[in-house]
Copies of this chain bind each other. A is one copy, B any other.
Amino acid sequence: MAKTAQNPVKSAETTFEVLDALKDLDGAGVTELAQHLDIPKSTVHNYLSTLEQEEYVVNRDGVYEVGLRFLELGAYARHREKLFEIAKPEVDRLAEETGELANILVEEHGRGSYLYRARGDKAVQVKAHVGTRVPLHTTALGKAILAHMPTERVDAIVDRHGLGGEASNSISSRAELEQALADVRERGVAFDDEERLEGLRCVAAPVLNHDDEIIGAISVSGPTNRFRGDRFREELPQKVLEVANVIELNVTYS
């Protein structure tokens, strides 16, 4: 179901392959990149010098690196999301009041993109940065989103990306997923019990607009030892829901 372009511009594809490689290798020289991509040195050099000229890539004494111009584009893309502007202060508050890690996720191209991440004073250290993309069915945030999408969109997403699980507790069949989504709809919140990362639990709530369309989700994550019993099942869900409701109100009137 992933749309493939009829007349793809191959050089554009190559351009992003180069950038992706530059990111994966965390900076590299021409030769190293060429080997990694299995493309002639001279070709890689042409791309890199073009990217440098356009100021999208930096050459720091022999090593090419992804440039900050992408921060410009990325920050712009984030700013364009209504949800970010509105939810950020509320999620900051959520992080402060719980002391944990609070997040905002939106769907794009059938995957989840972390828009923002606020750290409370006890917040766990997590590798994933803002901008990281994750499969929707493997996180509480993603399930909160899927649960409020029209079935046909859920189908399309599952067709496109599959249900590859990253950890043990993960959902692996369409039936399991449907059951999980029904749970989420009933409770109003979604849980994640070490499904994606060991030792990490998460409580997420959907954010809907005034037409009841899903526009994203917010959550609180933390270590299993602080996320259990009443706090995990009652306190935190209520807190997250309350914040989600405030955001929904602000989204409607804006």
Contact = CB atoms under 8 A, between A and B. Distances in A.
Interface string A78-91: 11110000000000
B16 A54 contact: yes
A35 interface: no
A119 to B, nearest CB: 10
A11 interface: yes
Given A12-B11, A26-B80, A54-B16, A132 B5 contact: no
A46 to B, nearest CB: 5
B73 A77 contact: no
Contacts of A108: 55, 58, 67-69
Interface residues of A toward B: which range?
35 or more
Contact of A67 (B2, B23, B72, B109): B109
Given A2-B53, A5-B46, A11-B12, 15 more contacts: A7-B45, A9-B46, A9-B47, A55-B109, A65-B77, A66-B80, A68-B78, A68-B131, A71-B75, A72-B113, A72-B133, A73-B74, A74-B75, A74-B131, A75-B129
10 contacts: A5-B46, A5-B50, A5-B52, A11-B15, A55-B108, A66-B77, A67-B77, A68-B115, A71-B75, A75-B132
Interface of A: 2-9, 11-13, 15-16, 19, 23, 26-27, 45-47, 49-56, 58, 65-81, 106, 108-109, 113, 115, 129-133
